[in-house]
Amino acid sequence: MKGAYEKASQEASETVSNIRTVASLTREHTFITQFKDNSVGPYRKAIKNHYIGSVGYGFAQATMFLVYCLAFFIGSRFILSGFITITDMLSVIYAIVFSAIALGVMAQQSSVMTKGLISSEKLLNTMQSVPLIDSHSEEGIKIAYDDVRGNIVLDSVRFSYPTRPKASILRGISLAVQPGKTIALVGPSGSGKSTIIGLIQRLYDVMAGSVSVEHTDVRQWNISSLRASLALVGQEPVLFDYTIADNIAYGRPGATQLEIEEVAKQANIHTFIADLPDGYNTRIGQTGGLLSGGQKQRIAIARALIRNPKILLLDEASSALDSKSEKLVQAALDKAAEGRTTVTIAHRLSTIQNADQIVVFRQGRIIESGTHEELIAEKGLYSLLVTQQSLQITH
């Protein structure tokens, strides 16, 4: 019943959080009906449990008073027969009364005990679970920040997600990224591009092959040391309901105001922030809801830059923006990539034409690799994708 209530509550929460989308699709009644349907089962079980609980409570209370009656009745008969004294009778009655009271209290608390057992079971299961990758582990090789140059090598990598072990995502990928170079990953959705970024961060471990940073397998790195050298800017930036300065400083706690403003300038967002009434102390709302998509993205870029990462990971960082915002964000990304090893994923191929290497994926395999000019000359999949996007822009 608890699980069913959680499912209904989760759907209700998602509906309210995305009410604009729900309203635009005119599906309010659909979600209300779904919530009602999901609540019917738990509601009926709750009614049944309350009936059972009420009967149990009534039985417990009745038992207590019946015990009083029985004790006085039997005690009086024993006293009249000379078997016990009145003192003995009162001692026994007090013992029985207190036992009956305890039984009644236990019956009342049975529902609380059940909830406690359910909650403690989930808590213990969570506490006793052992993650395959412990992000808090102090083990592994710790490489000094200054010794990281940004050399990345994928050697015959095969990977499937744990939830879908039979679906092969990467099928023998071999790839090398030189320090300070920019490599772009392109291809159809689901071809494994974002998975590679996850493997570089060691969010997952490969099934076969290896992913190396600075000629050291990421499985041998200390995770905190590895991730301290990386920064990620995703398609949907995650911001918190704090000030702009706080959100940028999350990239490196303890950053000074001067450092925050410097990275904001690099991300092409300083002028906008300075024009706000509260400047860098402006709160941005839940998930950055008070900002536009381009503004949120540039704050996310500033947050990545303040880490001064040796390796910059860009996962379709400008694909969800309008053309004007895209130009501002792309200019910030180009500036951020200077002097760093950059791995970028892009669907808009116009943003990656200056990459040092473009790698084309399809169904978990690399089918083409080279510069923009080389791939256009090959007239393969990349050339076809560029032509299709050009036609879409023209029309």
Higher pLDDT, 235 or 314: 314
- Tell me: pLDDT of 54 over 70: yes
Q: What does the H/E/C string look like for 318-368? A: CCCCCHHHHHHHHHHHHHHHCCCEEEEECCCHHHCCCCCEEEEEECCEEEE
Average pLDDT over residues 233-254: 87
Strand ranges inside 87-213, DSSP E: 152-159, 170-177, 182-186, 208-213
Q: Read off the tokens for 279.
A: 């400047």
Whether residue 100 contacts residue 70, with contact meaning beta carbons closer than 8 Å, is answered with no
Tens digits of residue pLDDT in 334-366: 777 888 899 998 877 877 888 889 999 988 899
| pLDDT single digits (tens) 90-146 | 888 888 777 767 776 776 677 677 778 878 888 888 888 777 888 778 888 888 888
CB atoms within 10 A of CB 327: 15
pLDDT for the residue 359: 92
Q: How far apart, in whole angstroms, are the C-alpha atoms of residue 235 and residue 60?
A: 60
- Four-way CATH pick for 145-394: 3.40.50.300, 3.30.720.120, 2.40.50.100, 3.30.465.10: 3.40.50.300
Digit-coded pLDDT (tens) for 78-87:
888 888 888 8
pLDDT band at 330 (very low <50, low <70, confident <90, very high): confident
Q: Is the pLDDT of residue 64 over 80?
A: no
Three-class DSSP category at 209: strand
Contact 370, 378 (CB under 8 A): yes
For residue 35, which of 69, 66, 9 has the smallest C-alpha distance? 9
Domains of the chain, residue spans: 2-128, 145-394
User: Is 281's pLDDT higher than 90?
Assistant: yes
Q: Which residue has the higher pLDDT, 307 or 97?
A: 307
